Structure formats: C-alpha cells, structure tokens
C-alpha cells in the first residue's frame, strides 16, 4: 500500500522499456553503494555506521526525487516508482529465505534462548507506547497519538485501525503518519539507531538482534545489518538468525498481539495521560485541528493509492524474473563486499530462489491465508533443520552468500519507490514524524531490554 497525491498512477505504455530502465538503475545504484562501502562516523560515546544498504536506499530516493531534473531516458517516474515497490516484495522473499536457512541450522541455539525469545515480543509492542505516546501528548497531538504509537504502523496495523476507526478518524491519520514515516525513513533511521546502540556495547548482540525483529522486513534487515557489521563473522551469523526468528514471531502472532493488547493499552494510556500531559502543550487543541485538516486528504487517498499499487502487481513471469535479477544483484554485491567469486555463489542462490518458489506455491495453494514470508521461512528452515538429510549440502552452498548481500538489492528497490510517498508525507507535520521515530526506537529498545534481562538463557 502506498499514499500518493492526486490521481492513481496508471501503467504507462512501453512498460517493458521502463522496466529495463528500472533494472539498469538498480545495477548502477548497487555497484555505486558497494564501491562507497561502510563509513563510520563518531557520535559521542558511540558511532553511526553507514553501510552500503543505506547508501543504496538514499541513492534510489535521490534518483526518484530528481525525476524532473533528469533527461527522459534516465527518469524514474511515478509509474516506475510503483513498479519498484512491487519488485521489493520478491526481493524481500530472497532475504527471508536466506534467514530461514540460517534459522533452520540454528534451531538448537534458538531453543536455548528460551524465555528471552518468548518475552522480547512484549517489548516490541509496549515499547512504542512507552516512548512515543507521552511525547505525542506533550507535543499537543490528540487521538492521532493512539494510531501513531500503538505499533510500528505497517500494513497489518493499517488494516486494524481502518477496520476499527476508519482512515478519516484521528486514529487513522495517526497510523497513516506512522506508515509513511516508516516507509520513507524507517530503514535508514533504524539502521543508524541500531548501529549506534550496538556501538555502545551496552547490550548483548543477540539481545539487539531480537530487538531488530520489528515486523517489517526492510527495517529488520537494516537493523540486523547494522548490528552484524560490528560483530565477528560467527556472531554476525547469529545476529541474523535471532533477528529472523524474532521477526517471524512478530509477523505471525504480532497482529493478534497488536489488536488485543497494544491497541487497548494505547487507548487506555491516552485516556489516563492526556488530561495531564496535554496541558503541557500551549497549542494542543489547535495542533490537533490543524493536523486533522492537513492529513484528511492523505487519508482519503488510501483507497485510490491501493488501486494504483494493485495495477503494478507482478504476474508470475515478472516475479520469477525479479527473483533471478535480484539474486544476480546480490551475487554481485557478495563478490564486491565479501570477495566470494561470483560463480561460487550461483548454486547457493539457486537453492534460495528454489525455496522462495516452493514457499510461494504453498502460499497460493493455501488460499493466501498465511503470509508468504511465513511459508518461505518454513520451507527454508526445513532444508537446514537438524532432521533434514540435505542440511550439510544446503548449508555449504548457501553459506557462500552473506545475508548482507541480499539486503542491499532490497533497499535499492525501496529507495527507488519512496519518492511517490513524499507529497503525502509533507502534509504530516514535524511533530507526528518525531513521534514516529521515537515509536520505532521504542519497539527496538523495548525488545532488546527484555531480551537482555533474560540474556543468561542465551
């Protein structure tokens, strides 16, 4: 789902040529991002690490925002931005499959984590409220604060608020603001924040890894990558494994947790705290009314934007090409960043693509009642689980592909797609954006703190 300004974008003629232009730009961006490499910036007692995946996202976003300043043959127009968003999902599934392969071989370690992995889930959803809601009320935000802070505002959260309150409601405008902020800035913010927290050495890396499983594939990838980049190769692998397990838990049971626990908690917290903290804002009610007017048009565009996104859904052939092309991009990045010969990684990539294809088949065969990411994860986990007879071979082949190599192509597509959401984002106002950032920080820290408390079981 995306939010755009004006009429829903329609597929343009000559889509094949436009599609090829999109793929060419993806190659260019990935190569440039890998050539720039990782850059560390000292920030007080810690550091901020800018990894190739962050450069890829920023370069893609800059390209989309520069559309009118480029010659026609180089432009990434609105239609292509929607296509990039559609390609993002197949690219994400490759990353999910790689993580599933890591999880399968590490099931004994995950079982040993015990209560840390179980209870960290509470932190993901309560953390957004504990940090985000009080600040929202102090900034004069009214019931929009409920929608903006009860979760990290991904697609399931949109569905919950849309069903319960409607998108024209204050709660609907709040979750919309959180969704847009996360779409445009979420991966960059969480990568920088998680990397900075990791550099402080206050938390066990595996506790931070569990904090990275926020329920968003791109944000989890960015956070886990930033944490793993500061660890030894063996610990980095464990970071990816625990982040994937945490994200899978958040994706599967998180919707029910959000609906029955965190949303009622946010509503209760608003009712209790607003009479006290709301007074701290000099313009509380005026701010709320201004936000309602400014965001109403964005909320009305949700259905129209959903139709625009649906018009760019990929058919079977296009999805297969997207998997192969994204896999090839990952192999290029794997060669550039981790010095693995390109051809050495091909068999492992074919295994990853095969796991994705099987997961997709099961997804459609089961009437799409369970998200595709869950089926792909389960298929991949089965290949490397202790009971799998082919586990040693699969681990040997896929072990030649670093999981970070699969993150950069994914965030390249994310960067190429974000420009379409900027018009709606500009109407949100700075207060709700700050609250959104703090809610994202809260979900990461909340889970990490709880996991750290149980670190003796890891």
Q: The pTM is what?
A: 0.77
- Helix, strand, or coil (residue 451): helix
Q: What is the pLDDT of residue 7?
A: 40
How far CA 427 is from CA of 177, 294, 339, 432, 440, in Å, comes to: 9, 6, 45, 10, 20
Residue 172's pLDDT band (boundaries 50, 70, 90)?
A: confident
Task: State the average pLDDT over residues 228-257.
Answer: 85
Q: How far apart are CA 227 and CA 221, in angstroms?
A: 10
How far CA 458 is from CA of 194, 207, 214, 236, 455, in Å, comes to: 20, 9, 20, 15, 5
Task: State the average pLDDT over residues 26-49.
Answer: 90
pLDDT of 262 > 50? The answer is yes
How far CA 22 is from CA of 4, 115, 166, 322, in Å, comes to: 20, 45, 35, 11
Six-digit token pair at 30? 């990935």
CB of 100 closer than 8 Å to CB of 378? yes
* Tokens 């810690």, residue located: 46
CA-CA-CA-CA torsion sign (399, 401, 402, 406): negative
Q: What is the pLDDT of residue 43?
A: 80
Q: How far apart are CA 273 and CA 289, in angstroms?
A: 19
Task: State the average pLDDT over residues 330-338.
Answer: 95
Q: What is the pLDDT of residue 296?
A: 52
Q: What is the pLDDT of residue 8?
A: 41
pLDDT of 12 > 50? The answer is no
Q: How far apart are CA 337 and CA 173, in angstroms?
A: 41
Residue 171's pLDDT band (boundaries 50, 70, 90)?
A: confident
pLDDT of 10 > 50? The answer is no
Residue 284's pLDDT band (boundaries 50, 70, 90)?
A: very low
Task: State the average pLDDT over residues 206-228.
Answer: 90
What contacts 161, CB < 8 A, 6 or more positions away?
147, 167, 169, 171, 172, 174, 175
Task: State the average pLDDT over residues 309-319.
Answer: 72
How far CA 183 is from CA of 33, 179, 188, 238, 283, in Å, comes to: 20, 6, 10, 27, 29
Residue 321's pLDDT band (boundaries 50, 70, 90)?
A: very high
How far CA 10 is from CA of 1, 300, 308, 421, 452, in Å, comes to: 15, 18, 7, 16, 49
Q: Which is more confidently placed, 245 or 163? A: 245
Q: What is the pLDDT of residue 2?
A: 40
CB of 95 closer than 8 Å to CB of 414? no
pLDDT of 228 > 60? The answer is yes
C-beta neighbour count of 391 within 10 angstroms: 17
What contacts 272, CB < 8 A, 6 or more positions away?
none
Q: Which is more confidently placed, 400 or 427? A: 400
pLDDT of 297 > 80? The answer is no
pLDDT tens profile 64-79: 888 888 888 888 888 8
Six-digit token pair at 301? 């565009």
Six-digit token pair at 279? 């007074």
pLDDT of 232 > 70? The answer is yes
Q: What is the pLDDT of residue 402?
A: 92
pLDDT tens profile 95-142: 889 988 998 888 888 877 777 777 887 887 788 898 899 998 888 888
pLDDT tens profile 351-404: 999 999 999 999 999 988 777 888 998 999 999 999 999 999 999 999 999 988
C-beta neighbour count of 412 within 10 angstroms: 31
Among 424, 429, 170, which residue's Cα sits nearest to residue 302? 424
Task: State the average pLDDT over residues 42-68.
Answer: 87
Residue 11's pLDDT band (boundaries 50, 70, 90)?
A: very low
Residue 155's pLDDT band (boundaries 50, 70, 90)?
A: low
Q: How far apart are CA 423 and CA 284, in angstroms?
A: 25
- Helix, strand, or coil (residue 89): helix
With both helix axes pointing from N to C terminus, report the angle between 391-398 and 372-384 in degrees, rounded to the nearest 10. Answer: 110
- Helix, strand, or coil (residue 43): strand
Q: Which is more confidently placed, 9 or 123? A: 123
Q: Which is more confidently placed, 98 or 164? A: 98
Among 138, 132, 135, which residue's Cα sits nearest to residue 147? 132
Q: Which is more confidently placed, 123 or 412? A: 412
Q: Per DSSP, what are the bridge partners of residue 42?
A: 47
Least confident of 48-57, 116-125, 218-227: 116-125
Q: What is the pLDDT of residue 398?
A: 96
Task: State the average pLDDT over residues 261-273.
Answer: 91
Q: What is the pLDDT of residue 424?
A: 66
Percentage of the chain exceeding pLDDT 90: 38
pLDDT of 218 > 90? The answer is no
For 47, phi then psi, to 5°, come to: -150, 155
How much is the mean pLDDT over the chain? 83
Based on its alpha-carbon atoms, the radius of gyration of the chain, rounded to whole angstroms, reads 21
Q: Return the DSSP state at 70.
A: S
């Amino acid at each position: 789902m995306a939010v755009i300004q004006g009429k829903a974008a329609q597929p343009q003629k000559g889509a094949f040529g436009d599609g090829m232009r999109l793929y060419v730009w993806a190659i260019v961006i990935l190569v440039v991002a890998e050539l720039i490499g990782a850059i560390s910036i000292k920030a007080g007692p810690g550091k901020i690490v800018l990894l190739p995946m962050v450069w890829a996202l920023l370069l893609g976003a800059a390209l989309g925002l520069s559309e009118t300043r480029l010659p026609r043959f180089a432009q990434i127009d609105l239609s292509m931005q929607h296509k990039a968003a559609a390609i993002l999902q197949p690219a994400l599934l490759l990353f999910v499959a790689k993580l599933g392969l890591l999880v399968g071989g590490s099931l004994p370690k995950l079982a040993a984590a015990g209560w840390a992995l179980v209870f960290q889930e509470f932190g993901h959803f309560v953390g957004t409220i504990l940090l985000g809601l009080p600040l929202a009320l102090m900034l004069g935000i009214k019931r929009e604060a409920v929608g903006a802070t009860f979760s990290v505002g991904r697609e399931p959260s949109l569905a919950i608020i849309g069903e319960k309150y409607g998108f024209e409601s204050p709660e609907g405008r709040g979750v919309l603001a959180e969704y847009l902020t996360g779409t445009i800035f979420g991966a960059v913010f969480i990568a920088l924040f998680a990397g900075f927290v990791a550099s402080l050495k206050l938390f066990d890396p595996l506790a931070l890894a569990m904090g990275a499983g926020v329920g968003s594939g791109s944000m989890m990838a960015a956070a886990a990558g930033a944490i793993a980049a500061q660890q030894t190769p063996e610990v980095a692998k464990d970071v990816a494994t625990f982040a994937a397990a945490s994200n899978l838990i958040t994706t599967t049971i998180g919707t029910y947790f959000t609906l029955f626990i965190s949303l009622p908690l946010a509503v209760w917290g608003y009712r209790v705290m607003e009479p006290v903290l709301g007074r701290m804002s000099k313009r509380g009610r005026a701010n709320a009314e201004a936000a309602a007017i400014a965001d109403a048009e964005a909320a009305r565009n949700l259905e129209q934007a959903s139709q625009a996104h649906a018009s760019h859904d990929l058919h079977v052939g296009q999805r297969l090409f997207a998997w192969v092309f994204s896999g090839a991009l990952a192999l290029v990045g794997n060669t550039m960043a981790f010095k693995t010969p390109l051809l050495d990684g091909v068999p492992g990539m074919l295994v990853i693509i095969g796991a994705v294809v099987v997961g997709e088949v099961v997804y459609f065969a089961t009437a799409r009642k369970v998200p595709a990411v869950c089926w792909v994860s389960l298929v991949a986990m089965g290949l490397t689980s202790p009971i799998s007879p082919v586990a040693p071979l699969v681990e040997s082949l896929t072990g030649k592909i670093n999981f970070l190599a699969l993150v950069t192509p994914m965030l390249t597509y994310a960067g190429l797609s974000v420009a379409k959401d900027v018009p709606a984002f500009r109407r949100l106002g700075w207060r709700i954006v700050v609250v959104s950032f703090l809610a994202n920080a809260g979900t990461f820290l909340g889970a990490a703190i709880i996991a750290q408390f149980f670190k003796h079981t890891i």
